[in-house]
Structure 1
Amino acid sequence: MTLESNLGADPGHYDREAKPNLWLATSSGSPDQGKVLVNSSRESSVMPHEESWISEIVPSNAAKIKVIGVGGSGGNAVNRMIESDVTGVEFWTVNTDAQALTQSKASKRLQIGQKLTRGLGAGGNPAIGQKAAEESREELSQSLEGADLVFITAGLGGGTGTGAAPIVAEIAKELGALTVGVVTRPFNFEGRRRIAQADEGIAALESRVDTLIVIPNNKLLSVITEQTPVQEAFSYADDILRQGVQGISDIITIPGLVNVDFADVRAVMADAGSALLGIGVASGKSRAKEAAIAAISSPLLEASVNGARGVVFNITGGTDLTLHEVNAAAEAIYEVVDPNANIIFGAVLDERLQGEIKITVIATGFSAEDMPVSLSPKETATHQSMRPMSTTSNPLGQPSKPAATSPTPAVDPDKQQSGLDIPDFLRRRRPQR
């Protein structure tokens, strides 16, 4: 008995109907694309038609990250990120100054307030920057549409960055994106007016973003030499903005030794308020611990990370990065934050960092009663003296000159009577849970 006579169908019918259909995330344009379908179909009075769904594969959608550089400094920071090959993000430059936009390396550029400013900028007036953003609110909304995470980067104190950045943040939040501001406060030599305007801009941003990271440019004076030209100092400030954004985006977009997804980052940074950014780079035998200590005692910090209830930190190293080093860095950070802190960390490999480890720490979750206290100049000097300058680079990634004295030797944490001037927040061991 042949199969043909048993089924009561011609061979062509069998070829069409009896073959199992299997579609698995193909690009054939099938309406069932992305599903595993086993359809064993035979027309018979004995065996009825059966269709069994084994499983359904839902394509993963990576978090859509947009970086919006607002104003001149924001645009410069975006250019620095593009030059540094920051991947997995969409860059936008937003400005009232048409000439500045022509110099942007971002493929997506938006001129705001065309009727108000006629492309001539905001003239250092935040009120003009705000009105320009309001005029172009619809265009800003379209540029932010679909983003899961929005970084707004700007140098505060001027017109466009100070006035427009809070409006951009407001729109991003309205669209449901996790909104993170990474901004700079002016150098003291830029004048009291710009500093006062920057403080007003910080206050306006703080109420409109989930997390706000403020980088005080004046702190850079402690990590650059006296011979550093003004233009180079401003470039360093732009690069710190870049490192703040990249420290967060890399652990989401780059597969690493320890992968972190967007939901993890949102859990720590949503409605977190003010945050602190620390960056440390080190090489040598104890490079992981040294980089971690450099990050949590970074000269860029205006306050201590002690007691933080939310921490995102990223460990970046070359292919020689070991699991023990990841653990050593994490332990150094665990020592100073709240025992019950929500800690998210990623470990990313970068072949360009052979022999070095870079750690970026973002600390959040400070309550009103235990807000970090600003470090005094003496305390800042103490923190810097802890860093073994012969093996540790400064936060900007520029090699430091060797210290005149020998590197600080490793000390058993239990031996606290050694005479070393170690800050209290590093002496306290993390309480046992």
Structure 2
Amino acid sequence: MSNETYMVIAPNGMKIPFDKNTNLSVSELDHGVGTKSIKEHSQMLLDSRQILNSSPYKDYKPSYFNPNPNEYGQTEYLSFEPWYKLSFKPNSKEISPWTKKEKAYYESLKDKRDRYIYLVKRSNLKCSMLEIPDDAIARVDEKGRLTKPEYKDIYDTVERNVDTLKSRLFSGEWRVCAGILGDKRAFASATVLNNSGFKSRARQSVFLAAQLGEVDALKVLARYFSTSAYMSGSNKNLSRSLEFQALYKNPPLDEYGMIPYLDEIVGSDFIMDFNRGGVAFDPEGTTHQFLKDEIEEGKLLDPRDVDANEKTREEFVKYLDNELPHFTNRFDKKGFPKEMTDKDISLYIDSTLLESKIMSLTPPEGYPNAPYYNTPEELKRMYESGKLDKRLNPLTPAMYKPSFPKDLKDKIEEYAKEHNIKD
């Protein structure tokens, strides 16, 4: 009689069978030359699932468009249509806009640190490496000094690890944490995350750096649309690059040395990111390298390109459908290859757990200034099949997004009511 099993969903969405008695993976697949560290591999999957299940967004409930006519013969197409039309554009100033209420509250903040805190929380970027309480945000001044001794342990831990050589992913994540503590330059240098598959997170980090007044971040954003643009999740767009270069040469800094409304000046760009919906499908970003090669060789055309049409976009999607499964990690192997060293296995496990943590902290709708990209045809198919979540609409104002910080929204609404401000 065979042992009873249960399923564990791996970070990339694969269903892995586990033995109920031993809590070990019972996959029969190995790596062709033998397998080792089965217990460690199994524990990694269990730990990853626990991390993902503890996400602050675990109770998120989608609200799908209904494509079917109601009793009056009406559908929700008119509500869907603006999103559909937006998907033909590579970028827009209409993405996650500021409302009158939100702007009024933000402008009521007359302290630079308060504005820094607001923009950080609005971005929805959170430290994946350790817990940073709200009161610890921006406690590092412009000279790198900690202004509140209570957070010395947090500060020292981040300072000690921010230049880690463990991997680019670890380095990038420690820099996001440093940015939250108050080092705006660290948000810009978190561009090393572009070497992973978390393209939207990397983009939001650099965009936030520019909002906070790190002018060099505008130069980084300009590079994202150059010849190597694809590795950042962008599409090659030299006019877009020139737009950011012009801003870099003459940055429109406000009296606090910031550019909070950068999205109203240049808009936000749709980012191609395959890690979304709580699933780390390609955390290493392998897909982007292959897509870059295909596009540079003229075999594919980026669907966001000015010359793209329905035919070229569908060819692109077909390529992804066929090839993307080959780029994801194979968690259905029962252990690690025998040729892997213990050090390699340790790094692989730590990286997988970090990738899970990143996904657990990623809002369902992504980040306000780095929205996920879908082709118009993909969106229409999702709408027509009743699988398009209206809560993920990039046109929704930031303060009405599902994951917008509740404490900020309450303060905005209270301020608006007190001052009779309406959107």
Tell whether the structures are fold-level matches, with TM greater than 0.5. Answer: no
Q: Normalising by structure 2, what TM-score? A: 0.29
Q: Normalising by structure 1, what TM-score? A: 0.29
Structure number with higher helix proportion: 2
Structure with greater contact order relative to length (CA < 8 Å, sep ≥ 6): 2
